[in-house]
Amino acid sequence: MKLRPIILLVFICVGPAACSSLFNVEPSPRESIEIPLYERYRVMALEYANRHELQRALFFWKIVNSLNPGDAETAAQIENLEQVIRKSAQAHYRKGLNHYRHNRLQKARQELLLALKIDPGHQKALELIKYRMNAEQTIRYTIKKGDTLHRIAETVYGDAGAVLLLEKLCPPQVVPRKLAPGHLLVLPKLEKPLTRMLAQSRIEQKIQAARDLIDSRQASKAIPLLEAIRKEYPANQAAVDMLNGIYYEKGMWLMYKHKDLASLAMFNKADTGYRNVDKLKQQVRKRLRDLAEKHYRQGVKWFVQEELRKAMVEWEAALKYNPDHAKARRDHTNARKLLERLEDLKKQKRTPEVKPD
Shared domain for 127 and 142, answered yes or no, is: no
How far is the C-alpha of 55 from the C-alpha of 88, rounded, in Å? 12
Q: Tell me the pLDDT of the chain averaged across its residues.
A: 80
Of 220, 249, 275, which residue constitutes the final position of a domain?
275
CA distances from 103 to 110, 132, 139, 243, 322 (A): 13, 12, 22, 50, 74
Last residue of a domain, one of 85, 118, 133: 133
Residue-number span of the structural domain to which 142 is assigned: 136-190
Q: According to the model, what pLDDT value does residue 280 have? A: 94
Domain boundary among 245, 275, 305: 275
Entry pTM: 0.46
3-state secondary structure of 138: strand
- Let me know whether 149 and 234 are in one domain: no
Q: Do 144 and 128 share a structural domain? A: no
Sequence-distant (≥ 6) Cβ neighbours of residue 280 within 8 angstroms: 251, 252, 255, 267
Q: Is residue 1 part of a domain?
A: no
Cα 298 to chain centroid, rounded: 43
| In the predicted structure, residue 296 carries a pLDDT above the cut 50 | yes
> Is the same domain home to 147 and 186?
yes
Q: Is residue 123 part of a domain?
A: yes
Q: What is the pLDDT of residues 163-192, one digit of tens each?
A: 656 665 555 555 566 778 888 877 766 655
Residue 23 lies in a domain: no
Distance from C-alpha of 67 to C-alpha of 36, rounded to nearest angstrom: 10
Q: Give Cβ neighbours of residue 314 (< 8 Å, ≥ 6 apart).
A: 295, 296, 298, 299, 302
Task: Determine the pLDDT at residue 99.
Answer: 84
Q: Are both 208 and 232 inside the same structural domain?
A: yes
pLDDT band at 133 (very low <50, low <70, confident <90, very high): low
In a domain, 212, yes or no: yes
The answer as to whether 220 is a domain residue is yes
Whether 81 is covered by a domain: the verdict is yes
CB 207 within 8 A of CB 237: no
Domain harbouring 329, CATH code: 1.25.40
Query: Does residue 300 register a pLDDT over 50?
Result: yes
Split into its structural domains, the chain has a count of 4
Residues 171 and 239 in one domain: no
Question: Do 110 and 82 share a domain, yes or no?
Answer: yes
Question: Cβ distance 293 to 318 under 8 Å?
Answer: yes
143-155: b (≥16 Cβ within 10 Å) or e: beeebebeebbee
**pLDDT value of residue 159:** 64
- The answer on 267 and 307 residing in a single domain is no
Q: With beta carbons less than 8 A apart as the criterion, state whether 64 and 74 touch.
A: yes
CATH number at residue 174: 3.10.350
Q: Kindly report, residue by residue over 37-60, the tens digit of the pLDDT.
A: 888 888 888 988 888 888 888 888
Specify the higher pLDDT residue, 282 or 136: 282
16 found inside a domain: no
Q: Which residue has the higher pLDDT, 212 or 330?
A: 330
Q: Which amino acid is at 138?
A: T
Same domain, 117 and 141: no
Pair 327, 263 in one domain: no
For the ranges 5-9, 141-145, 306-310, the lowest mean pLDDT is seen at 5-9
9 falls within a domain:
no
Q: How far is CA 87 from CA 79, 80, 90, 109, 156, in A?
A: 12, 11, 5, 18, 33
3-class DSSP assignment, residue 101 = helix
Q: How far apart are CA 266 and CA 260, in angstroms?
A: 10
10-39 residue pLDDT tens:
334 444 444 444 344 444 444 445 678 888
Q: Which of 106-115, 128-137, 220-229 has the lowest mean pLDDT?
A: 128-137
